[in-house]
Amino acid sequence: MKIQAVRGTRDILPDEIPTWQVLEEAAQRLLGRYGYREIRTPAFEETELFARGIGAETDIVSKEMYTFDDRDGSSLTLRPEATAGIVRAVIEHNLMNTDPALKVYGLGPMFRRERPQKGRYRQFHQLDVEAFGFTSPTIDAEIVELAIAYLEACGVEQHELILNSVGDGRCRPGYVEVLRKALRERASEMCGDCQRRIETNPLRVLDCKVPADQAIVDQLPRFVDHLCPECRDHFGEVRRQLEVLGIAYRLNHRLVRGLDYYVRTTFEVLSGELGAQNSVLGGGRYDGLVRDLGGPDVAGTGFAVGLERLALLLPPGEGQSRCDVFLAPLAGAALDPALLLQRDLRRAGVRTMLDPEGRSFKSRMKQADKLGARLVAILGEDEMKRGVWTVRDMARSEQEDVPEGQILDHLKEKTNG
RNA sequence: GUGGGUGUAGCUCAGCUCGGUUAGAGCGCCAGGUUGUGGCCCUGGAGGCCGCGGGUUCGAAUCCCGUCACUCACCCCA
């Protein structure tokens, strides 16, 4: 039996790493400018945290979690999303006390036991951005603007922002009833899943993908028309500010999102290049969550980006140079000076390699070429007699003699420019 | 959990329909074509339980059954 990566997991091989570093460095650079600081929370938590935070009825909690019993009998779960764990840490360390306007982000692996497909893995990585303690629509708009800025900083050009409001505790129950009543009248025309959802979770009917159902959904009452005055004003101001900021969006009243904790603003960024998993980023407001998890009643807003999906949108990284100077000691007595020169160059910050196997000169030239070395420094019988190194510029195909006393400085200078 | 597609060299794939000598190509890798010089070109080489198990047959990569994996889609989501 061959051992291979677990279903739904994958290796990120060295060739792909530059792409991932682009995503990670862009996050660090950009989020700092907006005042966010990184937070790192454990990859697993008590199961109860997710059951309470995400909603026991959601698919994630009811059938997609990696849950196991610890030896003392407590139930633990690999985190299926980041927000619950971050909220737990915020509460546990009373971060809101010292910083009533808290901006944090997290980056790391999440785990969901779903059937894998394009852009969906059982272990996947998310960048999660969370702002606590801000109630005003200005932070909603800022979060959306930040999300778009991040995608663009990563080099994503083709994207579509969709936006909706799902109301709050005051107006949502009313709308759900209006919706359910309307749905019951059309129930016989809808798919089996939807007929069931009319009673269990009518909002989910809205994003049903069955074409016939979508036609019906388009005729249903819309949430935006049933918002309470506060939610309506809030949403109106979010939209106004997005327009001020020049951010194009499309209203989509079917956007309800899968996690129970969202209120008011919800948004998602789609890309056509991801197959069926076309959502690359999603977020919104979750004002009750911190309170529900036992913390102070503070507002929350944020988003999560799927990094595997984001990586799919970027062009494959081209082969990068891995070496500045390649040393080629040809004579036996040339090895020691080459080892010393290699050590000194590396300490000076110059990427330096040689062929420890001591293969043919031609082979070493090929290696230097493949590694992308700009310079090859050759030390053979002839050079040793004359007290010089031959330094070859690979791109120009030119070479020159450099006295051995100057070789270190010469190579340092040539590679720093 | 449910459907479809695909499993042959490190990678991309041909061969399978109409079973038949040592299973192929391109790329990649290694070596050589120079007396100490990369890319281009040429030559050679290494590398395959033809996913796995069973069946049919004189004979199976090829036909049949099962199984596992990958993949796309449904569900749901980043």
* pLDDT of A158 over the 90 cut: no
Q: Is the CB of A57 under 7 A from strand B?
A: no
Question: Which nucleotide is closest, CA of A256 to its C1'?
Answer: B77
The whole-number Å distance from A382's CA to B36's C1' is 9
Q: Which bases along strand B come within 7 Å of a protein CB atom? A: 1-3, 29-33, 36-39, 69-78
Mean pLDDT of A11-37: 93
The whole-number Å distance from A1's CA to B57's C1' is 29
The confidence band for A373, taking pLDDT boundaries of 50, 70 and 90, is: very high
The whole-number Å distance from A60's CA to B20's C1' is 55
pLDDT in tens, A42-79: 999 999 999 888 877 777 877 889 999 999 999 999 99
Mean pLDDT of A166-189: 85
Q: Are strands A325-329 and A352-354 parallel, antiparallel or unpaired?
A: parallel
Question: Which nucleotide is closest, CA of A204 to its C1'?
Answer: B76
**C-beta separation of A107 from A24 below 8 A:** yes
Of A416, A417, A413, A411, whose CA–CA distance to A325 is shortest? Answer: A411
Of A34, A237, A255, A259, whose CA–CA distance to A148 is shortest? Answer: A34
pTM: 0.89
Q: Is the CB of A401 under 7 A from strand B?
A: no
* pLDDT of A127 over the 80 cut: yes
**C-beta separation of A359 from A368 below 8 A:** no
Percentage above 90 pLDDT, chain A: 64
* pLDDT of A14 over the 90 cut: no
User: What's the confidence (pLDDT) of residue A417?
Assistant: 59
Of A344, A333, A361, A358, whose CA–CA distance to A407 is shortest? Answer: A344
pLDDT in tens, A242-287: 999 999 999 988 887 767 788 999 999 998 878 888 899 999 999 9
Lowest mean pLDDT among A10-19, A130-139, A297-306, A387-396: A10-19
User: What's the confidence (pLDDT) of residue A405?
Assistant: 95
Lowest mean pLDDT among A1-5, A23-27, A242-246, A370-374: A1-5
Q: Is the CB of A140 under 7 A from strand B?
A: no
Structure tokens given for A349: 């910050």
Question: Which nucleotide is closest, CA of A124 to its C1'?
Answer: B78
Q: Is the CB of A372 under 7 A from strand B?
A: no
Return d(Cα A357, Cα A37) in angstroms, integer: 47
pLDDT in tens, A196-231: 777 777 787 787 766 677 777 778 888 888 899 999
Q: Is the CB of A300 under 7 A from strand B?
A: no
User: What's the confidence (pLDDT) of residue A2?
Assistant: 66
The whole-number Å distance from A10's CA to B60's C1' is 34
Q: Whole-number mean pLDDT of chain A?
A: 90
Q: Is the CB of A85 under 7 A from strand B?
A: no
Mean pLDDT of A351-369: 93
User: What's the confidence (pLDDT) of residue A258?
Assistant: 65
Structure tokens given for A241: 């500010």
User: Smallest Cα–C1' distance to nucleotide B52: which residue has it?
Assistant: A1
Question: Which nucleotide is closest, CA of A194 to its C1'?
Answer: B75
Lowest mean pLDDT among A12-16, A152-156, A379-383: A12-16
Angle CA A391–A393–A397, to nearest 5 = 115
* pLDDT of A289 over the 70 cut: yes
Return d(Cα A206, Cα A176) in angstroms, integer: 11
Question: Which nucleotide is closest, CA of A399 to its C1'?
Answer: B37
Angle CA A384–A385–A391, to nearest 5 = 45
User: What's the confidence (pLDDT) of residue A348?
Assistant: 96
